[in-house]
Structure formats: C-alpha cells, structure tokens
Amino acid sequence: MIKRLDFVRHFALLAIFIAVGDLHGAEKIRVSGGGMTPLHSLIWVANQEGLFKKYGMDVEYLAMNSGTLGVQTLLSNDSQFLFSTGALAVTADLQGADIAMITGGFNLFAFKLVGRPEIRSVQDLRGKKISISQFGSATDFAVQASLEKFGVDPKQVTVIQLGASSNRLTALTNGSTDASLFTEPFATMAIKKHKMGLLLDMAEAGMAYPQSCLMIKRSYLDANRDKATNFVKALVEALFLAKRDRAMTIQVIKKYIRADDEVYGIGYDYFLGAHAEGLLSMPDRKGVELVIAQLAKTNPKAKGQTVESLRVMEPSILDELKKSGFIDKVRR
C-alpha cells in the first residue's frame, strides 16, 4: 500500500508511506530514507519474503525527497530508523542530537558525477552550475569532495538544490544545469538514454564516505535494543537472500522504481552484487572523518571533533551478531 501524507513539524514535506508489513498486534516500526533507490531494496525484500514478520515487526518505509528530510522524522520520533547518509548523524549530533550509525551500507561515495556533453572533465566545471538534492546532503558533500580532488575550488561553481534525482536529471537534460551527481540507475539513464557524459565514478575512485548506513537515536536504542537487533537481523537475511536470487530482487525493485529493464540490472549489480555486504561492517572511519573535516570549514562546532567525541558510531549490534555466529549462519 502506498499513500501520501503531509508531515508538519517545523517544516512541511511530502512523504510516501509504503507499508511493508501487516502484523496484527505488533508495534508499528517506521524507517525513513532519502527516496527510493536500489540502496533501499533490502527493506523491500525483507517485506516480500516475510522477514520483518519473522522477527515480530510491522514496518513502514518513508520515502523522502532527501535524507535531510528523513533525519527530521527520526528527530521528531515519526520514524525509528533512518537509512541514509551518515553525514546526517554527524550534522545532527553537532547540534546536540543523539543519532548513531549502527551498520554500514554503501561505505564509499556511490555517486557518479555526470555532465552535459560539452563538459569534458571535472576541471571544466569552473563557472558552471551543479545541482544537488539539498544543502547538507550526501550530494552536497560529494560535490565538494569531487571538486577538491581535481583542484577546483568549490567557490568557483554555483551549486543549486533541486531535490530528487528525477528533478536533477530533468534540469541536466534541458540545460538548466551543467552537471549533477546520481546514484545508479539514474547515472546510467543520464548517460545512455540522454547522452550525458561521465566525469567521475566516485566509488571506483575509492573515495570513502558513509553513503548509506542504518541510523537510530541512542535513546531509542537504549530502550528498544531487542527491536533494533531484530531489525538488523531482518536486513542481514534480506541481504543474502537478495544476493542469491538476482531475478527475484530485480522484480521487487521494479515495484518501486520505474526504469528500463536494462537499468534494473545495472542498479542491482552496482549496489547489491558489488557492494551490499557493506551492511555487515561499520562505515569507513576515514569517510566519517571527511564529513567532520568538511563541516569544520563552515561550522565552528565541528572544529576539534572526532568520531569518539561525537559518539556517532555504535558497532555493538553488529559485533553481537558476528560473535553469536548469526551472520555466518544466514550467509550459507
């Protein structure tokens, strides 16, 4: 079931609620994320294969236009989990929140920097317009990191926030912007269907970043550790099921994302085939340190902070599942 709801707290946003469980008597668990991409397909697989029900959970997924909006639902207790960029946890914790990453996901920048045909290199972006989803989002950090890697001062480009990938793709193809960052399958759609050019594959370049991870408020974790552990267990089982059954997983993705058949396979191979086991480890420390360093350029509260001082990573659930043999058992 999909229905549209308006949340009004200190902001208004349009969210899509996808009911991924229907278990009478179980407490409703909500997980929010920045849109619907193959990054989030483990949640959909866990639903279809009854894994949330197996662990006594009735789960809804909240698809937001950006992870920045998703973190607001976590802070306002409209969701219990957030699956998005770990940069959001760092940013929120600098303001006094208590959000912690409890698993990794995609532990590199998953973006491909794509430009109009006349843009031949990252250096050509000087004086050009680049679109991101929202300031403070993963796309924002990725633009800064990409430009700096190739010696371009971010002040030499104009950054525009346009929301969802579909909005950014439209702006790129109609010439309103000169470049943008996309995850798969949108990157391939831009390159193959719209004849845009690939400027940089950030994952291939080995650029560490907590692109996607599972986050939770520490206060919720302290009061509901069993629920958090069971949620992670369901995702781990979904991970290995998805890796074993490519055809089934692509069919699940098709229910939520509209694209050409070729594009579905690309999204699966990129996120699940090649990188999905990032869920089983914590985000790369270097990537989290990059986030802190980038924030320190504009936020005085970030200066001198470390991963430990912010308490932004909580590996205890993964450590417990590894020590108990659970992960090895479901891997078989």
Q: Which residue range forms the structural domain that includes residue 137?
A: 112-201
Q: How far apart are CA 228 and CA 215, in angstroms?
A: 10
The token pair at 36 is: 């619907």
Report yes or no on whether pTM surpasses 0.85: no
What tens-digit pLDDT sequence spans the chain (332 residues)? 322 223 223 323 334 455 555 555 567 899 998 766 777 889 999 989 999 999 999 999 888 877 788 899 999 999 999 999 899 999 999 999 999 999 999 899 989 999 999 999 999 999 999 999 988 788 998 999 999 999 999 999 999 999 888 899 999 999 999 999 998 888 988 999 999 999 999 999 999 999 899 999 999 999 999 999 999 999 999 999 999 999 999 999 888 877 777 778 888 998 888 888 999 999 999 999 999 999 998 999 999 999 999 999 999 999 999 999 999 999 98
Closest CA to 40 of 256, 320, 215, 190: 256
Kindly state whether residues 280 and 225 are assigned to the same domain.
yes
Kindly state whether residues 215 and 188 are assigned to the same domain.
no
Kindly state whether residues 193 and 230 are assigned to the same domain.
no
Q: What is the DSSP string of 172-213?
A: HHTTS-SEEEE-TTHHHIIIIIS--EEEEETTTTT-EEEEEE
Kindly state whether residues 102 and 237 are assigned to the same domain.
yes
Number of Cβ within a 10 Å radius of residue 94: 18
Sheet holding 58-63, edge to edge: 2-8, 12-19, 58-63, 28-33, 81-84, 208-217, 99-108
What are the residues whose beta carbons fall under 8 Å from the beta carbon of 131, sequence distance 6 or more? 159, 160, 161, 162, 167, 168, 171, 172, 177, 179, 180
Which residue, 178, 201, 224, sits at the end of a domain? 201
Kindly state whether residues 258 and 233 are assigned to the same domain.
yes
Count of domains forming the chain: 2
3-state secondary structure of 61: strand
Q: What is the dihedral of CA 246, 67, 234, 79, to 10 degrees?
A: -150
